[in-house]
A = this chain, B = another copy of it.
Amino acid sequence: MPYYQNVVKNNTSAQGYLTLNLYCSPMTEKPATINIIAKKAGVGLETIRYYQRIGLIEEPEKPLSGYRVYGEDTVARLLFIQRAKELGFSLAEISSLLALGDGSCLETKALAIHKLDIIKNKLHDLQAIASTLEKLIQSCESNPFHHGCPLITAISKK
């Protein structure tokens, strides 16, 4: 018996096979094995195993003699990890960012404020680079033979 793949469009949740359970459903349309979620998230499956080893993502229970099944939440988490990495966060930092969302607010509020501070600094620097690049591009348009545009000064001063 085949799974009813793609029957429920734009929805990753389905309890049993065809139940429309948009919110809080722990099941996916089709038992998603590691390779399937790896492709969905655009990472290698060895990477997923690595993240499990270091505790960045949870390893689902292994059914006695069978393959592990993953939920959509794992895909979302993997996507988050990729984007956060591109923003210069280490896996350890990403782990603590994710813990902010998982844990009790009371115990992590101070940490969240601290993280926000770091992120605002990054935002500031990125904006400075972006506006310098914009000026650079504009000055190229007005004077295509211009030579030597200072990018460094945009963010190098503390």
> Is A125 an interface residue when CB atoms closer than 8 A count as contact?
yes
CB pair A119 B123 closer than 8 Å: no
A115 to B103, CA, bound (A): 36
Chain B residues within an 8 Å CB radius of A89 = 88
Chain B residues within an 8 Å CB radius of A140 = 105-106, 109, 112
Q: A112-B140, A123-B126 are in contact. Are A147 and B104 (CB under 8 A)?
A: yes
CB pair A77 B152 closer than 8 Å: yes
A102 to B150, CA, bound (A): 8
Chain B residues within an 8 Å CB radius of A106 = 140, 144-145
CB pair A83 B133 closer than 8 Å: no
Chain B residues within an 8 Å CB radius of A58 = none
A122 to B155, CA, bound (A): 16
- Secondary structure of the A side of the interface? helix
Q: How far is the CB of A2 from chain B (nearest CB, A)?
A: 28
- Copies per complex of this chain: 2
Q: A86-B125, A152-B76, A153-B76 are in contact. Are A119 and B105 (CB under 8 A)?
A: no
A83 and chain B: residue at smallest CB distance: B155
Q: How far is the CB of A132 from chain B (nearest CB, A)?
A: 8
> Is A139 an interface residue when CB atoms closer than 8 A count as contact?
yes
Q: A77-B156, A119-B129 are in contact. Are A87 and B88 (CB under 8 A)?
A: yes
CB pair A123 B127 closer than 8 Å: yes
A6 to B134, CA, bound (A): 36
Q: How far is the CB of A110 from chain B (nearest CB, A)?
A: 10
Q: How far is the CB of A34 from chain B (nearest CB, A)?
A: 19
